[in-house]
Structure 1
């Protein structure tokens, strides 16, 4: 069996997960973290700052800095919740929605092209395997933490 870490490292490189900027939409440069934030906000109805930071596994201070940069880029708005004034909800601006949709389209085109080299059985096998890997990682006590 091939070195599993080498396989995963190569996959991450090919996905561009080590690149500083993952996407260029017109003149807007979006980092990988910003792309993840836009995606998660877009998926949910008026999510709170805390909700998205927890989903992404980011501490709230680091997350707040990222949100501030997205606000300056005019991609995200932060609004006080009507139900609880201590909570701030996140909303995509019109430009933010355009950027999020564009990134989603680019990623889907990339994945469709990658999967076009596989048979239906191979595609299903990869998807099932990735689902199983994600489920196992969620159960791991060591997952997603720096190596000591």
Structure 2
């Protein structure tokens, strides 16, 4: 039996998930969490701060700090919800949309290059396996939180 943890450790390193900054776009260094925030704000319809924090599984305090840094970088805009002013709606600025699109293109280019080393059957196997793993993780009651012993 292969060492499962080692497989994930190696994949994490090769994906660059341990790097302080995941990408650089438009002269901005973007951290992994910031990249995820930009992606979710871009792909959800008028999301609130809480919705994105929940999607990413981060606590609201850490999330708020990250959003503040993206606001300072002029990539994200916070607007009070017209129906409930306690809720902030997030949107991308023009520059934020450019950065999100650039990161998307960089990631797609990276993944296309990686998958170019596989035949169609191997690619399909990997995609099917990742879907199975994502579904199993969604059903797990210990996934996505802090692992404690």
Same fold (TM over 0.5): yes
Q: Tell whether the 8 Å contact from 2:26 to 2:99 is kept in structure 1 after alignment.
A: no
Q: Tell whether the 8 Å contact from 2:21 to 2:29 is kept in structure 1 after alignment.
A: yes
Q: What corresponds to 2:6 in structure 1?
A: 6
Q: What corresponds to 1:84 in structure 2?
A: 84
Structure of higher RCO (CA pairs closer than 8 Å, 6+ residues apart): 2
Task: Give the distance between the partners of 2:104 and 2:17, measured in 1 at CA.
Answer: 15
RMSD: 0.9
- Per-residue Cα deviation, 1:91-122 (whole angstroms, up to 9, x for no partner): 10000000000000000000111111111111
Corresponding pairs, count = 148
Q: What corresponds to 1:18 in structure 2?
A: 18
Q: SS of the residue aligned with 1:62?
A: helix
Q: SS of the residue aligned with 1:58?
A: coil
Task: Give the distance between the partners of 2:141 and 2:12, measured in 1 at CA.
Answer: 22
Q: What corresponds to 2:37 in structure 1?
A: 37
Q: What corresponds to 1:138 in structure 2?
A: 138
**Can you give the 5+ residue segments of structure 1 that lack an aligned partner in the other structure?**
none
Q: How does the TM-score come out when normalised to structure 1?
A: 0.97
Q: SS of the residue aligned with 2:23?
A: strand
Q: How does the TM-score come out when normalised to structure 2?
A: 0.96
Deviation at 1:78, TM superposition (A): 0.1
Task: Give the distance between the partners of 2:101 and 2:123, measured in 1 at CA.
Answer: 24
- Per-residue Cα deviation, 1:10-62 (whole angstroms, up to 9, x for no partner): 00100010101000113210000000000000001210000000000011111
Task: Give the distance between the partners of 2:25 and 2:111, measured in 1 at CA.
Answer: 18
Deviation at 1:69, TM superposition (A): 0.3
Divergent runs of 4+, >6 A: none
Task: Give the distance between the partners of 1:11 and 1:77, measured in 2 at CA.
Answer: 34
Deviation at 1:145, TM superposition (A): 2.4
- Per-residue Cα deviation, 1:117-147 (whole angstroms, up to 9, x for no partner): 1111110110010010011011111112223
